[in-house]
Amino acid sequence: MSEPLPPGGDRIHERVSLRDYAALLDRYLRPYGPRVALLALFIFTGIGLRLAYPQVVRFFIDTARDGGAKEDLIWAAGVYLAIGLARQFVFLGGSYLGQDVGWRVTNTMRGDLADHCLRLDMGFHNEHTPGELVERVDGDTTTLSNFFSQFSAQVVGSFFLLLGVLTLVWREDWRMGAALSVFTLVSFAVINLTRSVAVPYYAAEREGFSRLFGFLEERLSGIEDVRTNGAVGFVLDRFFRVNRDAYGRVVRSETMGAALRSVIGILFAGGHALALGMGIWLYQDGIFTIGAVYLIFEYTTMLRFPLYQISEQINDLQRATAGLKRIEALYRIRPRIVDGDGEIPSGPLSVEFDDVSFDYFPGSPVLRGVSLRLEAGRTLGLLGRTGGGKTTLTRLLFRFYDVAAGQICLGGQPLPELSLRSLRQRVGMVTQDVQVFPATVRENLALFDEEVDDVAMLAALDSLGLSGWFHTLPDGLDTAITAGGLSAGESQLLAFARVFLSDPGVVILDEPSSRLDPATERQIDHAVRELLRGRTGIVIAHHLATVRRVDDIVIFDAGRVLEQGSRETLASDSKSRFSQLLSAGLEEYTA
């Protein structure tokens, strides 16, 4: 099983360092270097144009006041108009590139997280709902999309705009430059002090949404049971509780964000008062012209923009920090099942369990000292009461979990020595609850593997005797199907074809005809015989008809092997449990 996942925002308070952000940017922005470089060009061009605006207006004011030539005024107006048009072009280009880079990066990150989750152990997925994982894979990365798309374009750009403004103000007068520089330093100090204040609130907000989505996913997936048992009112009551908790978290995080913005607003008001006061003083002393006073006032107003943008992005950065912490917490979870490097040969494979014990939770053993061997090419029937450990046995063979004691060998090789990719290619399984995806028949058969050609699919359907079923499909392989659009029998036929296409050495069947009508059961019976031909088979049996297909029998009870042997030998021995089950009725025993 995997290591436990930290509970989320309520308990994640570690500070994210600048090195963490730099590493994140380097990892995900490096593949898009040319686009980032072009974005930087747009950013710095825009900064230059913004800084040029007040200079042109000052020239116009001072020239007009001094009675300058009309041509100079027309020239200044033309330059002002050209700068305005160029700024709009640069703004559109920078906005497009910022969003493009941001979404490319976050989509890459979503893919990495989804791949990581899919490779974690089944123990992890048993502990965390799909809704919770969707929120982590999609919701937390969405909070980082602004970090990638807007942070560089606005925070970095705003910083250099701020630097440009202060440099030009220093050129006008060192006293004004010093005053605005001190104001800027004070503002940055305040922003830095508030940097981590809201992180726990934003992390708690994301955790609230994670719980809400997890709750909805669980209840919607069980909608039939909820309705048939009259539990709609109860579910709504629980929903309102979870939703109320998420609402409270959002209110607290938004209130904190608004408080931080108010602090920045007060700083801006003080900065304008400082600029106006010093501008009046320098004008009265004859140091500044009217144009220079306008220039300083305009630059002070311009100073408000980068400070405001930085403060806004700091709030988003705090949200991104919460998302980054949760993403890192997810990445820190490592599978406890270590992948091997051994490859499994083609053909039927032997299966051996040697004194295997296993439990999902300490102190609750599911399998206890199980030993059995199935020779390559033979079929084994697993019998036993529900909850006796039959399904667990097959999960261990897929290495969804590792055994607590003992050893499992496939084809004579211990499972830990085999690569998981090779293992799961060479072992196929058909369950009673087949997963059907809302896609075409072709995509469902090949499980979206484009390398599987149509000829192979049609040959598989024909070999399993499913051509008749296939010809009933209106658009052949292009027929669109949904999860509820197929009967239980059709779903299992689809699953048989999937496994047949993968050509495994071992096939596991969980009673393929337990819920079917007689006609469909005969069709399934033919498909089963073809699927098991030349392969090792393990069948979890509930019906007598299924037992007649197998070569060997193992009877389970409370996680132990009570009896095993060839079907013919056990059936002919009146003292064997299997013979007694045949006489008494297998269905009653396995209920």
In percent, how much of the chain has pLDDT > 70?
88
443 membership: H or E segment, kind and range: helix 441-446
In percent, how much of the chain has pLDDT > 90?
9
CATH 3.40.50.300 residue window(s) in the chain? 351-590
Two tokens, residue 1? 């099983």
The HSE-up count of residue 324 (CA atoms within 13 Å, CB side) is 25
pLDDT value at 354 more than 90? yes
For residue 414, list its beta bridge partners: 409
Average pLDDT value for residue range 561-577: 88
Chain centroid to Cα 212, Å, comes to 16
Model confidence band, residue 149 (pLDDT cutoffs 50, 70, 90): low
Closest CA to 504 of 380, 369, 410, 384: 410
Which stretch of 36-40, 300-304, 460-464 has the lowest confidence by average pLDDT? 300-304
Which stretch of 69-78, 133-142, 298-307, 514-523 has the lowest confidence by average pLDDT? 514-523
Average pLDDT value for residue range 55-73: 83
pLDDT value at 100 more than 80? yes
User: How many C-beta atoms lie closer than 10 Å to residue 170's C-beta?
Assistant: 15
pLDDT of residue 3: 41
Model confidence band, residue 242 (pLDDT cutoffs 50, 70, 90): confident
Task: Using DSSP, state whether 508 is helix, strand or coil.
Answer: strand
Question: Which is more confident, 355 or 337?
Answer: 355
User: How many C-beta atoms lie closer than 10 Å to residue 74's C-beta?
Assistant: 10
pLDDT of residue 4: 42
DSSP structure class, residue 9: G
User: How many C-beta atoms lie closer than 10 Å to residue 462's C-beta?
Assistant: 12
Instruction: Specify whether the CB–CB gap between 436 and 482 falls below 8 A.
Output: yes
Tell me the pLDDT tens digit for each residue of 126-147: 777 777 787 778 877 877 776 6
Average pLDDT value for residue range 520-545: 81
Model confidence band, residue 507 (pLDDT cutoffs 50, 70, 90): very high
pLDDT value at 340 more than 80? yes
**Length, in residues, of the chain:** 591
Model confidence band, residue 544 (pLDDT cutoffs 50, 70, 90): low
pLDDT of residue 352: 93
pLDDT of residue 377: 92
pLDDT of residue 380: 92
Average pLDDT value for residue range 270-299: 79
Instruction: Specify whether the CB–CB gap between 224 and 258 falls below 8 A.
Output: no
Average pLDDT value for residue range 412-440: 87
Tell me the pLDDT tens digit for each residue of 184-199: 888 777 766 665 676 6
Within 66-173, residue ranges assigned H as helices are: 70-118, 122-127, 130-134, 140-146, 157-172
Which stretch of 6-20, 34-48, 117-131 has the lowest confidence by average pLDDT? 6-20
pLDDT of residue 316: 67
21 vs 325: CA distance, rounded Å: 11
Superfamily name with CATH number, domain 351-590: P-loop containing nucleotide triphosphate hydrolases (3.40.50.300)
Average pLDDT value for residue range 111-131: 81
Question: Which is more confident, 431 or 355?
Answer: 355
pLDDT of residue 229: 73
Average pLDDT value for residue range 329-351: 85
pLDDT value at 244 more than 70? yes
pLDDT of residue 17: 62
One-letter identity of residue 65: R
29 vs 43: CA distance, rounded Å: 16
Which stretch of 38-42, 143-147, 327-331, 514-518 has the lowest confidence by average pLDDT? 514-518
Superfamily name with CATH number, domain 9-332: ABC transporter type 1, transmembrane domain (1.20.1560.10)
pLDDT of residue 255: 86
Mean pLDDT estimate for the chain = 81
Task: Using DSSP, state whether 401 is helix, strand or coil.
Answer: coil
Average pLDDT value for residue range 80-91: 90
CATH 1.20.1560.10 residue window(s) in the chain? 9-332
Model confidence band, residue 415 (pLDDT cutoffs 50, 70, 90): very high
Instruction: Specify whether the CB–CB gap between 374 and 450 falls below 8 A.
Output: no
pLDDT of residue 410: 92
Tell me the pLDDT tens digit for each residue of 291-304: 787 787 788 778 77
pLDDT of residue 514: 54
Give whichever of 59-63, 238-242, 327-331, 510-514 has the largest mean pLDDT. Answer: 238-242
pLDDT value at 550 more than 80? yes
pLDDT of residue 311: 66
